[in-house]
Amino acid sequence: MNVDDILLRAVDIEKSFSGVKVLKKVGLDIRRGEVHAVMGENGAGKSTLIKVLTGVYPRDEGKIFFNGASVTINSRQDAKDLGIAVIYQELSLIPTLTVAQNILLGQEICRAGILDNGAMKLAIRKLIETYGFSLNPDAIVETLSIAQRQTVEILKALSMQSSLIIMDEPTASLSVKESENLFQTIGALKKRGVSILYISHRLEEVYRLADRLTILRDGERIAVLSQGEINPRDVIRLMIGKELRQSEHAGRMRPSRPEVVLRVRNLSRRGVFSDISFDLHRGEVLGIGGLVGSGRSEILHCLFGSDRPDSGDILFEGKPIRGTVSRNIRSGFGLVPEDRRTQGFIPLLSMKRNIVLTNYDHLVGRRLFISGKSELAMCRDAIQRLDIRPANSEIHAGNLSGGNQQKVVVGKWLMRDLKMLLIDEPTAGIDVGVKEDIYALIGELAEKGVAVILVSSDLPELLRISHRILVMRKGRIFREFSEGSVSQEDVLKAASGIQDREIESNE
């Protein structure tokens, strides 16, 4: 690749908000057809940089060259005209429209003011075939999986003849397999000369994909590494400015305490999962792996009482539960759901009210009125224990960053006498620092005797914190890893249906 073949060069970009410098003389070079990663902790200036490049924010200082020519990008349209496309973390598709309508949204093909459906369909077919995706252009987006939606996003970018695609946390909500597909797509794009600016918190992805990596810290460019130099340990050190204990590549399963807290027998829900049986012990972290859609989250919902199983028994501390959510919560259950924004918290309410929401039985007891003081005390306690930032109990939960939102969701369960925590994709879209906090928290809880069920698509995470791992496939428990050392490959194989030894769930 020709080193001088620079597609986009940003020089000395400065940006400040009400006097606070968010970007300090940041530079960025993206070559034609390369995958260029940008990393940095939350607040390092990544998103601001992207927003400057795409015209959302005007820059204070600096220059941007595109294809060698100096350009001004003052609006999103400018960026679009140049061929810069962005794929956002929260997908920016219209759920009720079809794939075709979404791809061509804002650039519909018309004949005399009337949509030319034939031409549009043809264009989309061609596009889909060129890149070898499997998508039905007439499918309605809300019926697609997240991975498929992302494909639609990418197609949308490609349909605009974009030469630079910015991907912001694209794998945040993808399963392993889906991520794998995405990586292949990225490879294909690269071959066709499309440059990709890739932003992710997942080190291993960057390690695998990126041709070069720019690291930002506190609004400054700390380093630009080329492929050979990217090394997880160094990257983390550069990002946070200090050494972080590396998680082991493979997880070691640990024996659990004998005391069984939860006994699940032959649990089935039609069309979702069937014949699920397992035991959960006191102080144990039970990991559930498998592909998205293999029925993992649904099991959690059945255990928690928000869905009803069609058959099967759930025994909690020896007694059958078939109760409602509130009854389960009172007996010590907690759930951190998969989709924070739609299930986890209430965006319009303050952080305080979100945290206290599950705990009124403790806080109020039999009294009629809530004491504002004790509410505040509880919230302060949570803020302190979880290090939620900003430490303002009145801020709307919806205005917090993703990581802190997750802390709020976890925090509301910590404030009570928890016996069992069901936790679903706890670190999706969360940066490294907060991830560590959450891992530590789960460990701490297990230590205290809380039984934890962890559903995760993040293999290193699953391996690192689980004491025991069940791998689901097509709604059934496919394999259990309960002893010895387990590698990511083992789990992945199981999730994909390859087994070297069948293991019955014990008993």
Partner 1 sequence: MRQETIRRLFSLLLLSILIVAFGATSKLFLTLPNIFTLLREASVTGILAVGVTFVIITAGIDLSTGAIVAFVAMVCANIFYYTTLPVWVALAAGLLIGAGAGYLNGLLVTRLHLPDFIATLSTQGIFRGLALIIAIRSSTGSISNKVITNQGFLLLGDRVSVVYLVTIAFFVVALLGQGILKMTPLGTHTYAIGSSRKSADLSGINSDRVKKVAFTISGICSAVGALFLTARMQTAIPELGTGLEFDVIAAVVIGGCAFSGGRGDVFGSVVGALFMAILTNGIYKYNLPAAFHIIIKGCVIIIMVIFDSVYHRRMDDRIRKAGKMLDQAAAAAEAAGGGAGGIS
Partner 2 sequence: MSKTMSARVLIQKFQRPLILLVLVVVLTLLQPDAFATVSNFKSIFLAISIYGVMVSGSIFTILLGGIDLAVGAVAALSGACTVLTIIAFNYSDIGVILGILAGLLAGCFVGLMHGVIISKFRVPAFLITVATMNIVYGAAELLTGNQTINIISPASFTFVGGGQLFGIPFPIYIVALMAFLSFIILNMTVFGRQVYATGGNPVAASLSGVPVFRTTCAAYIISGFTAAAAGIVLASMNQQAISKAAQGYENDVLTAIVVGGTSLMGGEGSIQGAIFGALLVGILNNGLRLMGVSSIYHTLVKGIIIIIAVSFDFYSRNRNSGLLRTGRLRLWMARQVAILMKEEKHQP
- Please state, in angstroms and rounded to a whole number, the distance separating the CA atoms of residues 301 and 305: 6
- Please state, in angstroms and rounded to a whole number, the distance separating the CA atoms of residues 176 and 290: 9
- Please state, in angstroms and rounded to a whole number, the distance separating the CA atoms of residues 232 and 212: 13
CB of 78 to partner 1, least distance (A): 11
Residue with tokens 């030894």: 501
Residues 128-187 interacting with partner 1 (rule: CB under 8 A): 143, 145, 156, 176-177, 179-180
Residues 271-310 interacting with partner 1 (rule: CB under 8 A): 271-272, 291, 293-294
Residues 189-228 interacting with partner 1 (rule: CB under 8 A): 204, 208
Helix (H, G, I), strand (E, B) or coil at 334: strand
State the number of CA atoms in the 13 A half-sphere of 212 facing the CB. 19
Query: Which CB atom, from 396 or from 493, has the smaller least distance to partner 2?
Result: 396
Question: Contact with partner 1 (CB under 8 A): which of 6, 11, 71, 105?
Answer: 105
- Please state, in angstroms and rounded to a whole number, the distance separating the CA atoms of residues 404 and 394: 14
Token pair for 277 = 């049986």
- The residues that touch partner 2, with contacts defined as CB under 8 A, are 17-20, 22, 43, 48, 57, 304, 306, 324-326, 328-330, 335, 337, 342-349, 353, 356-358, 360, 364, 368-370, 389-391, 396, 399, 401, 412
Reference 105, options 145, 153, 73, 142; nearest CA is: 153
Q: List the beta bridge partners of residue 452.
A: 285, 421
Q: How many other C-beta atoms are found inside a 10 Å radius of the C-beta of residue 258?
A: 7
How big is the chain, counted in residues? 507
CB of 269 to partner 2, least distance (A): 17
Reference 6, options 27, 23, 22; nearest CA is: 27
Query: Which CB atom, from 331 or from 496, has the smaller least distance to partner 1?
Result: 496
Q: Does 76 bind partner 1 (CB under 8 A)?
A: yes
Q: Candidates 6-14, 221-229, 411-419, 484-492 — which segment interacts with partner 1 by CB under 8 A?
A: 484-492
**Interaction partner, residue 306 (partner 2, partner 1, none; CB < 5-8 Å by kind):** partner 2
Write out the E strands in 350-467. Answer: 420-424, 451-455
Q: What angle do CA 197, 203, 204 make, to 5 degrees?
A: 100
**Interaction partner, residue 476 (partner 1, partner 2, none; CB < 5-8 Å by kind):** none
CB of 428 to partner 1, least distance (A): 16
CA distances from 45 to 11, 21, 24 (A): 15, 10, 9
Q: Does 94 bind partner 1 (CB under 8 A)?
A: yes
Q: Does 95 bind partner 1 (CB under 8 A)?
A: yes
- Please state, in angstroms and rounded to a whole number, the distance separating the CA atoms of residues 363 and 371: 8
Cα of first residue to Cα of last residue in the chain, in angstroms, is 59
The helix (run of H) or strand (run of E) holding residue 326 is helix 325-330
- Per-residue H/E/C for 29-65: EEECCCEEEEECCCCCCHHHHHHHHCCCCCCCEEEEE
Which string of DSSP letters, residue by residue, matches 112-159? Answer: TTEE-HHHHHHHHHHHHHHHT----TTSBGGGS-HHHHHHHHHHHHHH
CB of 339 to partner 2, least distance (A): 9
Q: Cα-flanking dihedrals φ and ψ of residue 242, to 5°?
A: -145, 165
CB of 25 to partner 2, least distance (A): 17
CB of 450 to partner 2, least distance (A): 17
CB of 31 to partner 1, least distance (A): 26
**Pairing mode of beta strands 451-455, 195-199:** unpaired
Query: Which CB atom, from 344 or from 460, has the smaller least distance to partner 2?
Result: 344
Q: Does 476 bind partner 1 (CB under 8 A)?
A: no
Query: Which CB atom, from 187 or from 193, has the smaller least distance to partner 1?
Result: 187
Q: What angle do CA 427, 288, 478 make, to 5 degrees?
A: 145
CB of 106 to partner 2, least distance (A): 17
Query: Which CB atom, from 467 or from 473, has the smaller least distance to partner 1?
Result: 473
Question: Contact with partner 1 (CB under 8 A): which of 192, 249, 254, 327?
Answer: 249
**Interaction partner, residue 110 (partner 2, partner 1, none; CB < 5-8 Å by kind):** partner 1
**Interaction partner, residue 270 (partner 1, partner 2, none; CB < 5-8 Å by kind):** partner 1
- Please state, in angstroms and rounded to a whole number, the distance separating the CA atoms of residues 170 and 152: 12
**Interaction partner, residue 18 (partner 2, partner 1, none; CB < 5-8 Å by kind):** partner 2
Q: How many helices (H) and strands (E) does the chain have?
A: 17, 24
**Interaction partner, residue 349 (partner 1, partner 2, none; CB < 5-8 Å by kind):** partner 2
**Interaction partner, residue 391 (partner 1, partner 2, none; CB < 5-8 Å by kind):** partner 2
**Interaction partner, residue 485 (partner 1, partner 2, none; CB < 5-8 Å by kind):** none
- Please state, in angstroms and rounded to a whole number, the distance separating the CA atoms of residues 166 and 170: 10
Q: Does 374 bind partner 1 (CB under 8 A)?
A: no
Binding site for partner 1 (CB under 8 A): 76-77, 80, 86, 88, 91-97, 101, 105-106, 108, 110, 113-115, 143, 145, 156, 176-177, 179-180, 204, 208, 249, 270-272, 291, 293-294, 459, 473-475, 488-489, 492-493, 495-498
